Structure 1
Amino acid sequence: MRYLVWILRLVIFVIVLLFALKNTAPVDVGFFAGHGVQQVPLIVVMLVAFLLGLIFGLLVAALAMLKRRREINRLRRELARAQAAAAQSLPAAQPMIPEVAAPLAPL
């Protein structure tokens, strides 16, 4: 299985490398307010766009994970408080005789 994963990684690397070699044509990149960069290889523009998307996606995922972690911690504290309150309100547990808890009915 490990060899299969490495073969798959090698195939993907070769495909990406060939794609990069085929997309070296220079392009002009325009920004806001008339600013721009001229004669940038297309693969560089695509790589920068990919990296910006990756960073944005990781940022959104990290914020969602932090929100979930805060909610989990809040719920754990609430559960601990509820368990402490339940332990204080209940008297010491005494063993129950089964017939007292649920009397047997004749069939």
Structure 2
Amino acid sequence: MRYLVWLLRLAVFVLVLMFALKNTGPVDVNFFADHVVTGVPLIVVMLAVFVLGVFLGLLIAVPSIMRRRREAARLRRELARLEEKSRQNGGAPAETLAPEAVAPMAPL
């Protein structure tokens, strides 16, 4: 499976490289307030837009990532607290229930 993924990555890389090499012609880039940059290779413009898109995507994802990290840290602390409590009680579970008592099994 690992080789298949690398083969797919290589194929995508070759396709993108071929596309980039075919689009090297100069273009004019128009900014706001009538500011124009002339003769910029199209591949440079595409690369700049791609990098800007990746940066903005990561910037948008940061709050979600931080929230998940905080939740994972909270759950680790809670797990450590429960393990310590379990060790103090002698390691024996307080009450053992069969799985069917918690949630009945569905009929087959």
TM-score over 0.5 (shorter chain): yes
Point out 4+ residue stretches in structure 1 off by more than 3 angstroms.
Answer: 67-74
Higher Cα radius of gyration: 1
Q: Deviations over 1:45-65 (max 9, x none)?
A: 111111101100101100233
Where structure 1 has 5 or more consecutive residues not aligned to the other structure, the ranges are 75-107
Paired with 1:10 and 1:70, the residues of 2 have a C-alpha distance of 36
Where structure 2 has 5 or more consecutive residues not aligned to the other structure, the ranges are 75-108
Task: Output the aligned Cα RMSD.
Answer: 2.9
Instruction: Pick closer, same or farther for the CA change 1:11–1:69 going to 2, 3 Å.
Output: closer
Which residue of structure 1 lines up, in the alignment, with residue 6 of structure 2? 6
Is it true that 1:62 corresponds to 2:84 in the alignment? no
Paired with 1:7 and 1:71, the residues of 2 have a C-alpha distance of 36
More helix by share: 1
Identity %: 65
**SS state of the match for residue 34, structure 1?**
coil
The alignment's TM-score, normalised by the length of structure 2, stands at: 0.60
Count of residues in correspondence between the two structures:
82
